[in-house]
Amino acid sequence: GESVGLHLPTLSVQEGDNSIINCAYSNSASDYFIWYKQESGKGPQFIIDIRSNMDKRQGQRVTVLLNKTVKHLSLQIAATQPGDSAVYFCAEKEAAGNKLTFGGGTRVLVKP
Amino acid sequence: NAGVTQTPKFQVLKTGQSMTLQCAQDMNHEYMSWYRQDPGMGLRLIHYSVGAGITDQGEVPNGYNVSRSTTEDFPLRLLSAAPSQTSVYFCASSYSVRGTMNTEAFFGQGTRLTVV
């Protein structure tokens, strides 16, 4: 079936720099795109979502960009901190659906 | 406010044994679900429920049963454990809007299950 395609690379970032995590999706019917953060030994935690009729949404230190033309989603973290070290998952959901389809995750390591 | 609580945190089973993973939430969420997470992969939906008395299958339901007798609890039963069910299991809950889950799901801490 269709799925959010994201391999599990590792992104090493210097503390204080900006991080950009990318995700490709394949389901054109998805209405929401979501980012989750998973710290070691914990369950995923919601960060931010964006509707398919938007191309940008900002939160606290995070920005999500959506490019429907190329089916690409990104999460930008400003001024990356040690507490941002985690695995980040993108996920998608249809408006009337009851399922989050997750990608494979990206590990972010913040170097002091 | 405990959020989503899963028990046990760790479990080792022998092939063929059965067990129940417990999940409870105290946020009065209508929607609850079970995911499994395998190394290097994202989470895959096993079963979900949009309210008490209602359950449905996700992507990988085979070998698992669920029931939803109360709003708070959503146990996951492994009928006859197999090594392929070795995984980390997460329970999640969310608000529902018109019977559809919200994008913000609250996850438990997970249950690490090993089947030998």
Separation CA B66–CA A78 (nearest Å): 41
Which residue in chain A is spatially nearest to B34 when comparing CA positions? A99
For B75-98, what is the mean pLDDT?
95
> Which has the closest alpha carbon to B31: B51, B13, B16?
B51
Candidates A23, A73, A89, A100: best to mutate against B (most CBs of B within 10 A) is A100
For B76-81, what is the mean pLDDT?
97
B35-58 pLDDT tens trace: 999 986 789 999 999 999 999 999
Q: What is the CA radius of gyration of chain A?
A: 13
pLDDT of residue A4: 44
Instruction: Indicate the average pLDDT of chain B.
Output: 95
Q: Is A107 on the interface with B (CB under 8 A)?
A: no
Q: pLDDT band for position A7 (50/70/90)?
A: low
pLDDT top residue among B99 and A65: A65
Q: Which residues of B touch A (CB under 8 A)?
A: 4, 31, 33, 35, 40-45, 48, 50, 56, 58-59, 90, 92, 100-101, 103-110
Q: pLDDT band for position A66 (50/70/90)?
A: very high
Q: For residue A48, what are the β-bridge partners?
A: A35
DSSP string, A29-73: T--EEEEEEE-TTS--EEEEEEETT-SEEE-SSEEEEEETTTTEE
